[in-house]
Structures are given as structure tokens and as C-alpha cells.
């Protein structure tokens, strides 16, 4: 993404803003992040924290981009082959049914 690293744009959900009750302002503030993500053409966005994940997921739906937003640990679990059924909520159809080991599925 451009800009990136320490010059990257904030999603607008951090610092308690996600729970502040100012949804319209939060979504408008996050518009620049959504446009930045959409400009990449990516079908997935990986978020490192829960607030960013929730905000970016909502931005994707609100602005009609519908890219998938996943937690970093979801990608790690997929790579390790240990993603549980309840952890597939935000995966797209291309990954939602990847057959990986889960202890409950062996019972």
C-alpha cells in the first residue's frame, strides 16, 4: 500500500473510537483506509488487532468493496493446518472449506 510503514493511514477504529457511538464519523474517517485497500485490488486484508479487524470489515461492507478481512492468527493457523470451524467466519469461499486438522473434527 502507499503510503506505508509509519506513514500509513489509520483505519479509524482504534483508541476507543470503535466503541464511541459515533459510527457515521468513524466510517467517514475510515474512508481513506478503505480507498487505500481497494486500490490494491486485494481480495483479503490481514488485520493485526481486533479493533482494526472490526473497523476494516465494516468499512468493506459499508463502502461496497466486500474484500475479506482476517486476523493475522487466522493466516498463521491456516498455514499450520489447525484452523477450527468457528474461526472461518471471515474467510472467503476460496478458503472457508480448506480441510485442515481440528481436534473436534476427529471425534
pLDDT of residue 80: 86
Contacts of 105 (CB under 8 A, 6+ apart): 85
* Of 63, 99, 65, residue with least CA distance to 82: 99
Q: Collect all residues with Cβ–Cβ distance below 8 Å to 86 and sequence separation of at least 6.
A: none
Alpha helical stretches, state H, the chain: 23-40, 50-62, 72-80, 93-96
Global confidence as pTM: 0.86
Distance CA 51, CA 53 (A): 5
Does residue 99 surpass a pLDDT of 80? no
| More reliable by pLDDT, 99 or 78 | 78
Which sequence spans correspond to the domains of the chain?
A: 5-106
Biggest CA-to-CA distance, the chain:
49
pLDDT digit string, tens, across residues 83-98: 877 778 889 988 887 7
**11-69: pLDDT as tens digits:** 999 888 888 899 999 999 999 999 999 999 999 999 988 999 999 999 999 999 999 99
pLDDT for 107 equals 44
**Residue 40 near residue 47, CB atoms below 8 Å:** no
Amino acid at each position: 500500500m502507499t503510503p506505508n510503514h509509519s506513514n500509513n493511514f489509520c483505519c479509524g477504529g482504534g483508541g476507543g473510537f470503535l466503541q464511541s457511538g459515533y459510527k457515521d464519523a468513524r466510517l467517514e474517517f475510515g474512508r481513506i483506509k478503505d480507498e487505500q485497500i481497494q486500490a490494491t485490488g486485494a481480495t483479503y486484508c490481514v488485520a493485526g488487532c481486533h479493533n482494526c479487524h472490526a473497523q476494516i470489515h465494516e468499512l468493506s461492507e459499508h463502502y461496497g468493496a466486500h474484500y475479506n478481512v482476517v486476523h493475522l492468527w487466522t493466516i498463521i493457523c491456516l498455514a499450520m493446518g489447525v484452523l477450527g470451524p468457528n474461526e472461518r467466519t471471515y474467510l472467503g469461499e476460496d478458503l472457508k472449506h480448506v480441510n485442515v486438522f481440528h481436534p473436534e473434527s476427529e471425534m
